[in-house]
Amino acid sequence: ILLMGQRSGRQERSKKPQLALSETMEAETEVRNNKEEAEEVKAKNQRLASVFGVADLKNEAVGLYNLGQTCCLNSLLQVFLMNIHFTGILRRITVPQSAAQQKNSVPYQMLLLLEKMQRGKRKAVGPTELAYCLAQHRVRFFVQHDAAQLFLTLWNLLKKQMKRPELVEELKNLYTICIQEHLACQNCSFEMKSKSTMLTLPLPVLDADSHWLKSLEDCVQHFFLPEELTGPNMCFCQKCGRKTPFLQSMKLVHLPQTLTLHLQRFNFERSSRTYKLSHYLSFPQHLDFREVLPENQCQADASEKATWQYELFAVVAHSGSTSCGHYCAYVRSLTEHKWYCFNDSMVCPVSWDDVKCTYGHPRLNWYANGSLFLPNAALDFGMRAVRSGKTNGFG
């Protein structure tokens, strides 16, 4: 209104204000366009950062929908993706160039699933694209998988498809255990030594006399006990020139930042019958291998042993029998320091007493805890990892 009054009072100066008004409107339009463009670029960068970079998981824990007996896969994915050391490696992968390569890449599809879980406030998301990708690599669904075997399959696919050598090396360092095996002839002084690596430490839950072991510490100690190889198990001695009794022993050389322990609950008999060992077996929240293993079963210096202190990060538990059952995961958030139970799409905070339900029980029943069913079942497979100060993690 003010501009209209000035223009009608001074006709001789009408062109300059009109030109100034036009220039002002163009300037405002340009500023607005630049602002919108800047906001669009910022939003795009934030989307990329959520995938490749920067912010950690700050939203509530997110579940994964069951696509058809994918509870085992869902449980393992939750443990992988809740491990900030693993996701730190995952976020630095080289993105495949073509759409076909992207669909076939397990690391890339796992990265997209992580981004999908972090985007928005959904309680659960579907791992459909990753499941399709795994199917291309002959990972079958609508069958009950063994968690330890599926974990090994996923890890090998990740290691194979990560193109950057330094990331492959970081992945190995994060999970790989190093053992030195000794074979000593009992008739002479001949001895063989060899180092080997493994992804999980397969712990027996029965001793040599088929008695139940009562704790995780007992299982670790029994795994490293020397064993006499006699009868049909004798080995050929190069010095004696024939098969002789040997003493087999193992020494611990190196433990990774993420230590994976596998309780061998599935027992195989000579009659080809497989059954599950569901007896009670406790495990601690903190584990120091220096206190569990004697000095003669370790092959490491003091600096290496100083890192052998662990805290529990995750438990993958199985409820049911060898032919059918259900998996869920108990994971401790490394940012919130709280325990969660991931039961496919259902997620809820739990206490340490709830986690101890996975100690096992002869009766494989379930009990209700609010709207979530927690398994009163045996620990079948655990994996964990995180360094808290100087403390690693195990599971």
- Please give the Cα distance from 98 to 108 (Å, whole number): 12
What tokens were used for 129?
Answer: 């694209």
Task: Please tell me which residue in 71, 219, 298, 341 is annotated as part of the active site.
Answer: 71
Cross-strand pairs, 373: 368
Neighbouring CB atoms inside 10 A of 194's CB total 9
Residue 267 structure tokens: 């027992």
Q: Which of 133, 237, 326, 341 is catalytic?
A: 326
Q: What's the chain's length in residues? A: 395
Distance CA 151, CA 27 (A): 59
**Angle CA(260)–CA(395)–CA(139) in degrees, nearest 5?**
55
In whole angstroms, give the CA distance from residue 249 to residue 184. Answer: 9
Cβ density class 5-25: b for 16+ within 10 Å, e for less: eeeeeeeeeeeeeeeeeeeee
Q: Are 180 and 250 in contact (CB under 8 A)?
A: yes
348 is catalytic: no
Residue 71, Cβ neighbours under 10 Å: how many?
24
The closest alpha carbon to 347, from 371, 379, 322, 324, belongs to 371
Residue 71 known to be catalytic: yes
Alpha-carbon span 2 to 25, nearest angstrom: 17
Q: Catalytic site residues?
A: 71, 326
